[in-house]
Amino acid sequence: MSGFTNTLLSGDGPRSRVLTALLAVIVGVLALAPFLFDGAQAINTAAKICVFIVLAASYDLLLGYTGIVSFAHTMFFGIGAYGVGLAFHFWGPTWTAGLAGLGIALTAGLILALAIGFVSLRVKAIFYAMITLAVASAFAILAGQLSDFTGGEDGRSFRVPELLRPTTMLFQMPLTGMSVTGRIATYYLIALAAAAIFLGALRIVNSPFGRVLQAIRENEFRAGALGFDVVAYRTIGNCLAAAMAVLAGALYALWLRYVGPDTTLSFAIMLDILLMVVIGGMGTLYGSVIGATIFILAQSYLQKLMVIASSAFKGVPLLPDIFHPDRWLLWLGVLFVLSVYFFPTGLVGTLRARAALQKD
């Protein structure tokens, strides 16, 4: 069993008992989320975690393994979402339309990533970051202005294939009597796709190609002196990360059954991805699982917890105002600062370092 797990994880296990336990809990809860929790918010949160694990992992592949700082990741996320969403909207809720939209989005995303890579990756990191920011901003403006096609700021709602519709009743669980609907089928489609993409990314970073990317990140001049084409490797890494972001966007659109600038192209999403990677730990991939889970849970439930805290401190001077639900973003920022201060290499990096010290 351990040999199979080692093969599945491409020989790159968590390397920490605490991290292994955390990952097992997250995977277990996500696998059973539709049956463990009642209400729409819980399954929405679980689906969003699955999508953002892929998105954060794709950015970690770019930043943590390749050393590229890009602000265009939400553009690729949006391309995937718009590709699938507009295909369903204009061509009808069929599997053929969805796959065609995904194919077009992947092709467009790869061409853009290739063009940006060849044109921009020869410049210094800060200039590349600014170029990607400009391209992403231009794409977001374009999506908002082409209202006849994209729906503009209002976006587009669309229908999905009948199997994936919330009103579709598939079957009932024999023991619990719980109804399995198209909504649950959509959730498991997203969860399984996210798991497959994540394991594929783990395989990439642990391949000879991934080792070269890490070598370029550590010292690009030495890597170039050894005969590796730095620009070509970085461009391929950029394309792989873009493809993962496109797939994440397609999954997110499939879950929301809506696509719009605020849900996929907002710069706030870019900041969220960066926070997830930093909190979890750059250059680990497992950090995307931990970071996305913590961030999405805080984003979804911190405000509710603050309502409870504010009520509990009622009558105590200042505390009800400090824990007022409207200040949840302030406390989210405080949590981020504390996580960076106490875990400078991210949660995964810190846990792995402690495990290595205990072995020594």
Instruction: For 279-334, write each residue's pLDDT tens digit.
Output: 999 988 999 999 999 999 988 888 888 888 878 877 777 777 787 787 877 888 88
pTM of the predicted protein model: 0.93
* pLDDT confidence of residue 77: 96
* pLDDT confidence of residue 132: 85
* pLDDT confidence of residue 60: 94
How many structural domains is the chain composed of? 1
* pLDDT confidence of residue 195: 96
Which of residues 127 and 216 earns the better pLDDT score?
216
Position 269 pLDDT exceeds 80: yes
* pLDDT confidence of residue 30: 95
Which of residues 241 and 308 earns the better pLDDT score?
241
- The angle formed by the CA atoms of residues 36, 284 and 286, to the nearest 5 degrees, is 5
Which of residues 40 and 5 earns the better pLDDT score?
40
Contact partners, residue 255, CB within 8 Å, separation at least 6: 44, 47, 48, 51, 186, 187, 190
Q: Check: CB of residue 44 under 8 Å from CB of residue 256.
A: no
Task: Name 156's bridge partners.
Answer: 259
> Which CATH number is 44's domain given?
1.10.3470
Average pLDDT over residues 231-251: 93
How confident is the model over 73-118, as pLDDT tens digits?
999 999 999 999 999 999 999 999 999 999 999 999 999 999 888 7
Q: Give a yes or no: residue 252 inside a domain.
A: yes
What is the span of the domain harbouring residue 288? Answer: 14-359
- Helices 346-359, 267-280: crossing angle, 10 deg rounding: 10
Separation between Cα atoms, residue 262 and residue 239, nearest integer Å: 24
How confident is the model over 120-171, as pLDDT tens digits?
666 666 777 888 888 888 888 888 888 889 998 889 999 999 999 988 888 8
Residue 176's pLDDT band (boundaries 50, 70, 90)?
Answer: low
Position 14 pLDDT exceeds 90: no
Contact partners, residue 32, CB within 8 Å, separation at least 6: none
Separation between Cα atoms, residue 163 and residue 38, nearest integer Å: 22
Separation between Cα atoms, residue 246 and residue 107, nearest integer Å: 10
Q: Give a yes or no: residue 3 inside a domain.
A: no
* pLDDT confidence of residue 2: 62
* pLDDT confidence of residue 307: 81
Q: Give a yes or no: residue 4 inside a domain.
A: no
Q: Give a yes or no: residue 120 inside a domain.
A: yes
Separation between Cα atoms, residue 101 and residue 80, nearest integer Å: 8
Place of tokens 């061509």: 91
281 by DSSP, 3-state: which? coil
Residue 1's pLDDT band (boundaries 50, 70, 90)?
Answer: low
Q: Give a yes or no: residue 40 inside a domain.
A: yes
Amino acid at 341: Y
- For the chain, the average pLDDT equals 88
Separation between Cα atoms, residue 240 and residue 285, nearest integer Å: 14
* pLDDT confidence of residue 329: 79
Q: In the structure encoding, which two tokens stand for residue 330, read together?
A: 């302030």
Q: Give a yes or no: residue 149 inside a domain.
A: yes
Q: Give a yes or no: residue 8 inside a domain.
A: no
Separation between Cα atoms, residue 279 and residue 282, nearest integer Å: 8
Q: Give a yes or no: residue 2 inside a domain.
A: no
Separation between Cα atoms, residue 310 and residue 333, nearest integer Å: 18
